[in-house]
Amino acid sequence: MLARAIAAEWLKLKRKWILALAVIGPLGVVLLQAVNYGLRYDYVMKQNADDPWGGLLQATTGLMLPALFIGLALVASLSAGVEHAAGGWKQLLALPLTRLQVFAAKTLLTLLLLLLSCTLLAVFTLAFGAVLGFSLQELPWPDLLRQSYAPYAAAMPFVALQIGLSLAIGNQAVPMTIGVLGMVVSLFGMLLPDWVPYNWPWLALKAETALRAAAAGLGGGLLLLAAGCMHFTRKDVS
Partner 1 sequence: MDMNHGIGQPLGQEGRQPWLLETSGLTKKLGGKAVVRDVELRIGEGDIYGFLGPNGAGKTTTIRMLLGLAKPTRGRVTVFGKDLAKNRLDILRQVGSLVEYPSYYGHLTGRENLEVVRRLLDAPQERIAEALGIVRLEKDANRLVKGYSLGMKQRLGIAAALLGHPRLLVLDEPTNGLDPAGIQEIRELIKSLPQQRGVTILLSSHLLSEVEQMATRVGIITSGSLVYQDRIEQLKRRTAGRIRLAVSEPEAAWKRLLEQGWEARRDERGLTVPGGDDRDIAAIVAELVRERHAVYRVEEERSSLESVFLEMTGTGGSL
Residues that bind partner 1 in the complex, under the rule CB under 8 A: 1, 4-5, 7-8, 11-12, 14-16, 82, 85-98, 236-237
CB 198 within 8 A of CB 65: no
CB 79 within 8 A of CB 110: yes
Tell the smallest beta-carbon distance from residue 170 to partner 1 (Å).
13
What is the residue-wise DSSP string for 125-182? HHHHHHHTT--GGG--HHHHHHHHHHHHHHTHHHHHHHHHHHHH-S-THHHHHHHHHH
DSSP state of 13: T
Q: Give whichever of 11 and 173 is closer to partner 1, judged by the CB atom.
A: 11
Q: Reduce the DSSP state of residue 208 to 3 states and report it.
A: coil
Tell the smallest beta-carbon distance from residue 81 to partner 1 (Å).
11
Which among 155, 153, 143, 151 is positioned nearest to 207, based on CA atoms? 143
Q: Give whichever of 93 and 211 is closer to partner 1, judged by the CB atom.
A: 93
Tell the smallest beta-carbon distance from residue 238 to partner 1 (Å).
8
Q: Give whichever of 2 and 207 is closer to partner 1, judged by the CB atom.
A: 2
Q: Give whichever of 87 and 140 is closer to partner 1, judged by the CB atom.
A: 87
Tell the smallest beta-carbon distance from residue 98 to partner 1 (Å).
7
